[in-house]
Amino acid sequence: METSEIRRRFLQYFEDRGHTVVPSAPLPSPDPNLLFNVAGMAQFVPYFVGQQTPPYPRATSVQKCVRTLDIEEVGKTTRHGTFFQMNGNFSFGDYFKEKAIEYAWELVTKPQNEGGYGFDESVLYASVYYDDDEAIALWKRIAGLPDDRIVRLGMKDNFWSMGIPGPCGPCSEILIDRGPEFGADRDWEAGDRYLEFWNLVFMQNIRGEGGGKEGYEILGELPKKNIDTGLGLERVAYLLQGVDNMYEIDEIYPVIERASELSGRKYGVEHVDDVRFRVVADHVRSALMLIGDGVTPGNEQGGYVLRRLLRRAIRSMRLLGYEDPSLVELLPTSLEQMKKSYPELEADFGRISQVAYAEEEAFRRTLTAGTTIFDVAVRDTKASGAHQLEGSKAFQLHDTYGFPIDLTIEMAAEQGLNVDTEGFRSLMKEQRERAKADARAKKAGHADTSGYRELREKGVTEFTGYQELSTDSQVRGLLREGAVAPFAEQGETVEVVLEKTPFYAESGGQIADEGLILGDGLRLKVLDVQRPVKGLIVHKAEILEGVLRPGENVHAAVDHEWRVSACQAHSGTHVVHAALRQVLGPNALQSGSYNKPGYLRLDFAWSSALDPSTRSEIEEVANLAVRKDLPVSAQYMTLPEAREWGALALFGETYDEQVRVVEIGGPWSRELCGGTHVKHSSQVGALTVTGESSVGAGVRRIEAFVGLEALHYLGRERALVRLLSENLKTRPEELPAKVADLAERLRAAEKELERVRAAQVLEAAGELAKNPKDVFGVQYVGHRAPDGVNGGDLRKLALDIRGRMANDKPAVIAVLSVNDGKPGVVIALNDLAREWRLKAGDLVRVAAEKLGGRGGGKDDVAQGGGTDPAGADEALAAVEHTVGHLVTG
């Protein structure tokens, strides 16, 4: 049975039993403590913890998940994967244990020709929380399981919580006995023979503070009992498809087959290669799904995880012997399998592939740069006489340059060197511990939303801002530091909740409105507006006059000029987005935006910089749309209707079933959007593009001013051109040629200055070579050159001095200069000095240490530098002292 069919049957089964089918939430998690959704119940947490009222009593979903804690273990075992899918059915105070067990058992055991999964009942077991006698009785009655096929387990294995105070409860799992070839009889801990594939959580208790899976107190029972289940889609797939592990199911294995064809190596022959094949297949699929949900490669948060997954896949292909770009072959293979369940991937594949291929190209360049750094590290290691590359070097290559450790090990072996893997792993462990500590600190700071929930229970805040800029309203409540407060006085800044408001809360890239809240003897300045929980609009406001209390009648008024400019910017963002797609094609899709009065920026999928003519064309298309005075309208519809209508949605955003679609000029611009807009495109005013830049692999950013800000910007530009024309005594249209001529003359002057300075430096060589200092038979020259001498000229000076000195005695030359505040030093030795077992590399390290830096090189010439120019004289003295010590020691 194909994985997509297992998925379809699950949703169909529960839909037929009164469950609302809820689409998967995007992979990026809205929880600040998490990067990605890691469980099927993630999007239902607000219902379970009481932050929001569930819109349905029971639901079902197949949630996309990514877990990366064990990323280094992927492929080494048959269990670790990054992307996976969790089938779930949920009850919010509706049915409980009996129905949950009944539904699960029926679907699992019902024959396949009747819509079930057709598992053999004789090999199925149930695990329960050790004192959950109710669940045991239900398994016996509903499933007919005997005592010897019901396993009692403790809190660690069969009791669930979110890891923080809140809902919790006992679990019951369905397990399958895979046979003696997978382990010993009744060995529940190993996890290979008795494989759990469906976990039923009976959410009935409230837990207190404490760590771990067992170290917390059960405080009591929930007022409403809930059901949360999770059936691992990939596990069911490999059980029903007759393969041994998740990597060999229909959604993953074709990538392994394609990787095998490309590399010429076979899967299933050598464990080391099998690990690499599995890494490739897992990570390519995960990358496909992450990019599909709007994640782009970067150096922080989810972007870093995606970058790491892509790079691990690429380098695994290299380690399999395939040196050419591989994603162009592997990503379409993964798409062919995943589009059966997620058809939107095919529609968006142009953008997805563009992002992925750009990252591969960037990583190939990184590998080239990393190889250069690696070569230097190898040279230094060999020069010191060591046979092992330091763990710190390997970690630097991995952490700073993205150089994989196994590639470092392989390349080091080619050079006859080992790698201090223990040192490397120790540094990696320290990094992980720091990351975990940061995560724990963030978790401890989990925002308390109880005050917001209390006010939300009094009703939804009505937003009137689409129709009006001022509204008579009433104060529903106020909060001070998150807690409901009875009053607030002049001078305080508090959060205010109104029954209705015209103030737009920050969302969709548009910042919040500003304005005033007025009342009898009251005057409040609105500083910010947010939606901390769904349905509640909260105004952060400074009380300028009076005492504020709940129940006060007030008049809420948005700053008119602020809103007008904000509408221009938001509508301008849609116009620029449509212009981008018209000029560049349908793959130039928005991946993020930010707009405030008079200014907009828009991130979009594109792999290369826009040339000036393309930027000008985009600007012209946008301004033509403005001039056409296109109608701007908004209407509500269901999400499926909006998608069928061709409305564009922002990647990674979660939308309600009812969505708002904003049109500008009909199908020319049709997007899901909750922001405020102008009535006609002409009201955007002037639009001028001010910049375009890269914000990550495959993602560009365009910035623009609109309305009065655009005119002000153009006015500043015009004044600048006028000033330059006057100073350079030329007409504006001749400025580019004039500036280019001046730049060329400046470069020529700098080159001449450099030549003169180098000649002046080298003039000193003759005099210095005539008067060396005798250091126990060694001719020693220690010279501090004038400030500003670069490394190249410093090296020339040292070699020139050495060439002028007599060869019948050993000679050591140390020259130093401070350039741009940073000291540099060069050491040169003649042949006789090296015969006396002196080495330039050793001596330059002595000097560099005094300069707060490091250095290295060959035995005859070495170069170094540092950050502390105050140590310059001491560095030269240290070299002299070391020479004397070495020749007399």
| Average pLDDT across the chain, whole number | 89
pLDDT of residue 863 exceeding 70: yes
Q: Is the pLDDT of residue 439 over 60?
A: no
Question: Is residue 60 in a domain?
Answer: yes
Sequence-ordered list of residues with C-beta below 8 angstroms from that of 834, at least 6 positions apart, any chain: 859, 860
Please report, in range form, the residues annotated as the binding site: 570, 574, 673, 677
**pLDDT for 688:** 95
310-332, pLDDT tens digit by residue?
988 998 998 899 989 999 999 99
- Among candidate residues 29, 91, 32, the one with its CA nearest the CA of residue 64: 29
- Note whether 495 and 475 are within 8 A (CB): no
Q: Which residues are annotated as a binding site for Zn(2+)?
A: 570, 574, 673, 677
Q: Residue 788 and residue 521: Cα distance in Å, rounded?
A: 68
pLDDT, position 445: 38
pLDDT score at 217: 83
* Ranges 112-126, 137-151, 176-190, 579-593: which has the least confidence: 176-190
Cβ proximity of 552 and 475 under 8 Å: yes
CA distances from 234 to 83, 86, 276 (A): 10, 8, 20
pLDDT for position 402: 66
* pLDDT tens by residue, 726-781: 999 989 888 889 999 999 999 999 888 877 877 777 788 888 998 899 999 999 99
The larger pLDDT score, comparing residue 256 to residue 654, is at 256
Order of strands across the sheet that contains 773-775: 773-775, 778-784, 811-819, 822-829, 861-865, 854-857
E strands of 347-492, at which residues?
388-389, 418-419, 462-463, 470-480, 483-485
pLDDT at residue 440 in the model: 45
CATH code of 591's domain? 3.30.980.10
416 in a structural domain:
no
Residues 513 and 604 in one domain: no
Q: CB-side exposure of 655: number of CA atoms within 13 Å? A: 24
**d(Cα 26, Cα 282) in Å, to the nearest integer?**
19
Is residue 46 located within the same domain as residue 134? yes
| pLDDT tens digits, one per residue of 356-386 | 998 898 888 877 777 777 888 888 888 888 8
- Would you say residue 396 lies in a domain? no
Calpha distance 303→392 (Å, rounded): 25
- pLDDT value of residue 751: 83
Mean pLDDT of 597-601: 95
Provide the 8-state DSSP code for 231.
E
Report the phi/psi class of residue 258: left, alpha or beta, with left for phi > 0 and alpha for psi in -120 to 50.
alpha
- Do 140 and 37 belong to one domain? yes
What's the count of helices (H) and strands (E) in the chain, helices before strands? 25, 33
Q: Dig out the tokens for 266 from the structure.
A: 């076979």
Phi/psi for 640 (5° steps) reads -60, -40
**Residue 350 domain flag:** yes
- Using an 8 Å Cβ cutoff, are 201 and 178 in contact? no
pLDDT at residue 443, rounded to an integer: 41
Taking alpha carbons only, the member of 174, 228, 232, 177 closest to residue 203 is: 228
User: How buried is 74 (Cβ within 10 angstroms: 0-12 exposed, 13-18 middle, 19+ buried)?
Assistant: buried
Q: What is the CATH number of the domain that holds 791?
A: 3.10.310.40
Residues 656-708 pLDDT 10s: 778 999 999 999 999 999 999 999 999 999 999 999 998 876 788 999 999 99
Which pLDDT score, from 0 to 100, does residue 245 have? 87
Q: Which residues contact 245 (CB under 8 A, 6 or more apart)?
A: 78, 79, 238
Packed helices 707-728 and 560-584: angle between N→C axes, nearest 10 degrees: 70
* Cβ partners under 8 Å of residue 193, min gap 6: 177, 178, 179, 180, 182, 183, 184, 185, 187
Is the distance from CB of 197 to CB of 172 less than 8 angstroms? no
- Does 167 fall in a domain? yes
Q: What number of residues does the chain have? A: 889
Instruction: Please compute the mean of the pLDDT values over residues 567-585 and round it to a whole number.
Output: 95
What is the rounded (10 degree) CA torsion for 763, 766, 771, 772? Answer: 90
> The tokens of 823 are what?
């000291």
The whole-angstrom separation of Cα 838 and Cα 851 is 21
Residue 812, both tokens: 């050591």
Q: What is the mean pLDDT of residues 640-666?
A: 82
The answer, as to whether pTM is greater than 0.95, is: no
Model pLDDT, residue 709: 94
Do residues 612 and 660 share a domain?
Answer: yes
524 burial class (0-12, 13-18, 19+ CB within 10 angstroms)?
A: buried
Give the domain CATH number at 210: 3.30.930.10
Measured distance CA(107)–CA(113) in Å, rounded: 12
Cα 301 to the center of its chain, rounded Å: 3
DSSP-based helix, strand, coil % in the chain, nearest 5: 45, 25, 30
CA distance 885 to 889: 6
* Cβ–Cβ < 8 Å for 251, 241: no
Q: Provide the 10 A C-beta neighbour count for residue 104.
A: 22
DSSP string for 36-68: B--STTGGGHHHHTTSS--SSSEEEEEEEEE--
Whether residues 554 and 567 fall in one domain: no
| Partners of 602 in beta bridges | 593, 702
Residue ranges making up the domain that contains 338: 253-369
Indicate the SS3 state at residue 465: coil
The b-or-e profile of 746-780 (16+ CB within 10 A means b, else e) is eeeeeeeeeeeebeebeebbeebbeebeebeebbb
pLDDT digits (tens, 9 = 90+) for 703-725: 999 999 999 999 999 999 999 99
Other C-beta atoms lying within 10 Å of the C-beta of residue 493 = 14
Residue 542 token pair: 């400074």
Q: Which of 682, 717, 752 is the last residue of a domain?
A: 717
Nearest to 650 by CA among 597, 603, 610, 607: 603
Q: In one letter, which amino acid is 508? A: G
Distances (CA, A) of 196 to 90, 387, 831: 19, 48, 73
Contacting residues for 637 by C-beta, under 8 A, at least 6 apart: 645, 658, 659, 661
Token duo for residue 791: 């490394």
Asked, for residue 221, whether it belongs to a domain, the answer is yes
Q: Could you tell me if 680 and 781 lie in one domain?
A: no
Clarify whether residues 281 and 362 are in a common domain.
Answer: yes
Percent of the chain whose pLDDT exceeds 70: 95
Same domain for 506 and 463, yes or no, is yes
Among 558, 590, 624, residue at a domain's last position: 558
Residues 6+ apart with CB under 8 A from 732: 721, 722, 725
Into how many domains does the chain fold? 5
The terminus-to-terminus CA distance of the chain in angstroms comes to 80
pLDDT at 234: 94
Least confident of 126-130, 440-444, 603-607: 440-444
pLDDT value for 90: 96
What phi and psi, each to the nearest 5 degrees, are found at residue 540? Answer: -85, 120
Token code pair at residue 778:
């060694």
Residues above pLDDT 90, as percent of the chain:
60
DSSP state of 323: -
How would you label 365-394 residue by residue, b for 16+ Cβ within 10 Å and e otherwise? eebeebeeebeebbebbebeeeeebbbebb
Decide if 262 is inside a domain.
yes
Q: Mean of the pLDDT values across residues 827-843?
A: 94
**Tens of pLDDT, residues 497-550:** 999 999 999 988 899 999 999 999 999 999 999 998 888 999 999 999 999 999
d(CA 32, CA 43): 14
- Element containing residue 304 per DSSP (H, E): helix 301-319
Same domain assignment for residues 502 and 608: no
The answer to whether residues 345 and 339 touch, using CB atoms and an 8 Å cutoff, is yes
Does the structure show a pLDDT above 60 at 438?
A: no
**Domain boundary at 525, 540, 558, which?**
558
User: Are residues 59 and 161 located together in one domain of the fold?
Assistant: yes
> Which token pair is 636?
């509500």
Helix 707-728 and helix 735-770: axis angle, to 10°?
60
Contacts 24+ apart (CB under 8 A), 851-857: 851/823, 851/825, 851/875, 853/823, 855/825, 856/379, 856/380, 856/383, 857/383, 857/827
CA nearest neighbour of 231 among 416, 100, 46, 40: 40
Taking the C-alpha atoms of 630, 632, 633 and 638 in order, what is their torsion angle to the nearest 10 degrees? 100
Domain of 473, CATH number, reads 2.40.30.130
**Whether residues 592 and 688 fall in one domain:** yes
> How far is it between the farthest Cα atoms of the chain?
105
**Count of Cβ atoms closer than 10 Å to residue 220 Cβ:** 10
Indicate the angle between helix axes 97-109 and 3-15, nearest 10 degrees. Answer: 140
How far does CA 849 lie from the centroid of its chain?
Answer: 38
Residue 284 has pLDDT above 90, yes or no: yes
Rounded to the nearest angstrom, the gap between the alpha carbon of residue 193 and the centroid of all alpha carbons in its chain is 37
Do 351 and 472 share a domain, yes or no?
no
Tell whether 619 is covered by a domain.
yes
